Structure 1
Amino acid sequence: MKQLIGLNTLFLSIFLLITLFVHSQFGHADTLKPERKKGPEHLVELLELSEQQRTEFLDIMKQQHEKRMTVRDKHYNTRALEKADMDALHNETMQLLEPVLNDSQLKKFEQMAKKHRHRPPKEESLR
């Protein structure tokens, strides 16, 4: 009987420890980081665009994104050709943004684009 009570206490202790561990690991995961805007909407805030700039900027970025996806699909197996086309597309994007952004915003965008272009790809985006 004593041995049965000891086993029950042991199992209860293990159960409580596991429950506390799981709760501490996952219980507050959604409150740790606030959700941040992604993509062009995030850039609109960082560049501090006016409403008119925002509209034009988002239109340009949407069109250029569609072109990027076309280039990526076109060069599925040829990375060097894809890079050349993407570089040309980046230059086109910068030319389209010149009349929309002021010098400070354009410089900031270029710095962010350069940083973004040289990071390794995410695993889920690999084919």
Structure 2
Amino acid sequence: MTGLVNGAKYFFAVKSYNSTKTVESSFSNEVNTIVPTPSTITADFSANATTGNPGMVVSFTPVTTGTISQWSWSFGDGGTSTASNPSHTYNLAGSYTVGLTVTGADGTANKIIRILLRWLIRLSHRL
């Protein structure tokens, strides 16, 4: 059935007829409807660092809703992962676009962030 409203009361009656079209049995009942709400998938994530020096290991933590069956990470330097909580080492200075795509029975969602790695020069000062 379609068009039922969540929480509304409906009365259903069923009658069974025999071949001579006389009522053989009947049943009726009042029911409260519970219409399931479709769940949605959302994707978000955080990184333990988004700026630093080359050689930095970045750990990613997903923040998702819905039942996720597949994780797909792209780290912006050609590296990928299908783990839910991956870590990745960035070896060269540069700006990297990190993407997460999650898939489940209710659809697909994605999110991107930017990682920026710069060479930091430390000067030692002697007196």
Q: Could you tell me the TM-score, scaled by structure 1's length?
A: 0.24
TM-score, scaled relative to structure 2: 0.24
Higher helix share: 1
